[in-house]
Chains A and B, each alone.
Chain A
Amino acid sequence: MSAATAQHSPLTAPREERFNYNNLGPLLFGLLVATGVGFVVALLACFTPMGWKQFLFSWLYAFMFFFTISAGSLFWTMLHYAVDAEWSVVVRRILETMANSFSVLWAFFIPIVLGAGVVYGWMYGVPAGVDPALDGKRAMLNPKVWAIFTVLIFSFFFSASYTLRWLSTRQDKTGDPGCTTKSRKVSFASIPLFAVLLTAAAIFWVMSIQYHWYSTMWGVYLFAGSAWSSMATLILITQWLRSRGHLQGIVSTQHFHIMGKLLLSFTVFWAYIAFSQFFLIWYANIPEETEFFLIRNTESWNVWAIGLEVVGHFFITFVLLCPRVMKTNPKYLCYVSGWVLLMHACDIYFIVNPFLNPTGVNPLSMIFDLAALVAIGAPLAFVFLRTLGKHSLYALRDPRLPESLRLVN
């Protein structure tokens, strides 16, 4: 709808719109079955030559995939309040519900905690005095600090996403504009914490596996992937809801256009960060920095790096998203978003799996990685769908809703 006509047409008070569970029974049941099957198949990894270690790395891979998507959803929610955005009011409830997965995500980290000594070799495997490089990092790389940060990370991500969602759904009932200003304050306070703790998660959970290696861009690298993949997930979920008859007259092509533009911008941002990290390490050629890329730029991992990271992750996505029609047509945008999620899965795989298989891609490992993806993804999807129906599908009484409804960009 155009701006000038909207100014003259009386704006009807938006009706509450609840998620419709019709015909969803088989899907919800299927998700529960998939959870069990995925978990059992992932556990079969214990019978491979790698054993328990194989299971842990598959599990860590799947966990990081969903952790980054959930963290990205929280990021977009906080950004919405911090910059007082108009366009995202209509899709914010979906983002809040996606970020709500932090209420259960901690449970999926338990296997990693139990097997921390196996995944993180520095934890118990290397006695003091053997490795001077590690001893210099002991102030940070010790089980106590690791545990403290793990608790801090989950507490923060859960409380921030819970508070923002609570304030937002409370506003649905009370219509109090104070909820928006309070959310804004929560977001301002949370953004620095988000940056520090997402970086901490990237360092403690992933980078420290190869404890000699360090990169100052690591936290930003995971952040770029988080914001990118969560935007793609948001596009897919929004269009899925629309295809089920929801959000008609609420979410328009204009909103998809903005989401497409943000997806494009984070495609470029990721490439910028990822290349900068590679470039500086490659050029400086310092042994403790290059070991990460030495594994990943040899054997079949190099094919992966060029084919899936450089060409697939960046070039194809970039070219696909350049024409305007790809961003304004929800159907095309959904195809690209599916591709984005696939590339994000490949990116996290490229980060985590070479620690386990330094000599090249291991097809056997992939079975368990996929199973772990299902074992974590299916229950998260279940929780998402159950939570989605508890409140209106969009922020019903947000002060900026009228502006968001008649968005023109």
Chain B
Amino acid sequence: MPAATLQAPANTIPAMPPRKLYGLGAELPSAAALFHAAESMRDAGFKRWDVFSPFPIHGMDEAMGLGKSIVSFIVLGGGLTGMATALLLEIGSAVYLYPLIVQGKPVTWATIPAFFPVIFELTILFSAFGAVFGMLAMNLLPRWHHPIFNWDRFARVTDDGFFVVVEASDPRFNDKDTVAFLSGLGATNITMVYDD
């Protein structure tokens, strides 16, 4: 490409489309500072925000004001589905469709103890499916990319970094006030994180 085209006047460069703001990232010096920051964020009434640390911090769910997860209901649904599946497969086939006398046991509901192992296993299997896939769905996983990875400092979260991230979609979010609030909590490196 000819070198002359690189020296085009600045005013001819097309304007960048406005970048979509994902949220504000802030770094905290320690796990304890992160814990107290979370308590303040909770008390200030933020809704769409999260904390990140290299290791789990006991009591953080309470400090963040997280309620009880609904995963347990998904697990219950999974368990009941598994139980119903096993009952249908076993009672349906061995009692109604192909009644066969095995080991001199009756071919009625009275023979249900023989079906318990499979009922038990399928209940557990489907509960575990409910737990794993329910958890993934609640966490919006799996996904290829997340906007927070656009922030280079955030790579330290798997090493020694403690972060608070407030999403721009939070009803209380406001560029200037939130920055001031976060720096008031002792946060450093407060950064705008963009969505692209």
* A interface residues with partner B (beta carbon < 8 Å): 2-5, 7-8, 275, 278-279, 282-283, 285, 322, 324, 408
- The residue from A2, A279, A282, A322 contacting B58, defined by CB atoms under 8 A apart: A2
18 contacts between A and B (CB under 8 A): A2-B58, A2-B59, A2-B62, A3-B35, A3-B58, A4-B31, A4-B35, A4-B57, A4-B63, A8-B32, A275-B113, A275-B116, A279-B113, A279-B114, A279-B116, A285-B104, A322-B76, A324-B68
Residues of A close to B116: CB separation below 8 A: 275, 279
**A5: nearest chain-B partner, CB-CB:** B35
User: How far apart sit A4 and B35, CA to CA, in the bound complex (Å)?
Assistant: 7
Contact: A408 with B58, CB < 8 Å?
yes
Q: How far is the CB of A322 from chain B (nearest CB, A)?
A: 8
Contact: B68 with A4, CB < 8 Å?
no
User: How far apart sit A141 and B185, CA to CA, in the bound complex (Å)?
Assistant: 75
Contact bitstring B49-90, A, C-beta under 8 A = 1, else 0: 000000001110011000010001000100000000000000
User: How far apart sit A4 and B116, CA to CA, in the bound complex (Å)?
Assistant: 46
Contact: B32 with A2, CB < 8 Å?
no
Q: Tell me the interface secondary structure of chain B in the complex.
A: helix
- The residue from A7, A275, A278 contacting B32, defined by CB atoms under 8 A apart: A7
User: How far apart sit A285 and B102, CA to CA, in the bound complex (Å)?
Assistant: 12
Residues of A close to B31: CB separation below 8 A: 4
**B102: nearest chain-A partner, CB-CB:** A283
Residue from B35, B59, B68, B114 having most chain A Cβ neighbours under 10 A:
B59
Contact: A4 with B59, CB < 8 Å?
yes
Q: How far is the CB of A318 from chain B (nearest CB, A)?
A: 11
Contact: A4 with B114, CB < 8 Å?
no
**B117: nearest chain-A partner, CB-CB:** A279
User: How far apart sit A7 and B116, CA to CA, in the bound complex (Å)?
Assistant: 49
**A271: nearest chain-B partner, CB-CB:** B120
Q: Tell me the interface secondary structure of chain A in the complex.
A: helix
Residues of A close to B36: CB separation below 8 A: 4
User: How far apart sit A279 and B68, CA to CA, in the bound complex (Å)?
Assistant: 38
User: How far apart sit A283 and B111, CA to CA, in the bound complex (Å)?
Assistant: 10
User: How far apart sit A324 and B103, CA to CA, in the bound complex (Å)?
Assistant: 42
Residues of A close to B103: CB separation below 8 A: 283, 285
User: How far apart sit A2 and B60, CA to CA, in the bound complex (Å)?
Assistant: 8
Residues of B close to A4: CB separation below 8 A: 31-32, 35-36, 57, 59, 63
Given A279-B113, A282-B113, A3 contacting B72 (CB threshold 8 A):
no
Contact bitstring B94-112, A, C-beta under 8 A = 1, else 0: 0000000001110000000
- Sample of 11 further A-B pairs with CB below 8 A, known A2-B63, A4-B31, A4-B32: A2-B59, A2-B62, A3-B57, A4-B57, A5-B35, A8-B32, A279-B113, A279-B114, A279-B116, A324-B72, A408-B58
**A409: nearest chain-B partner, CB-CB:** B58
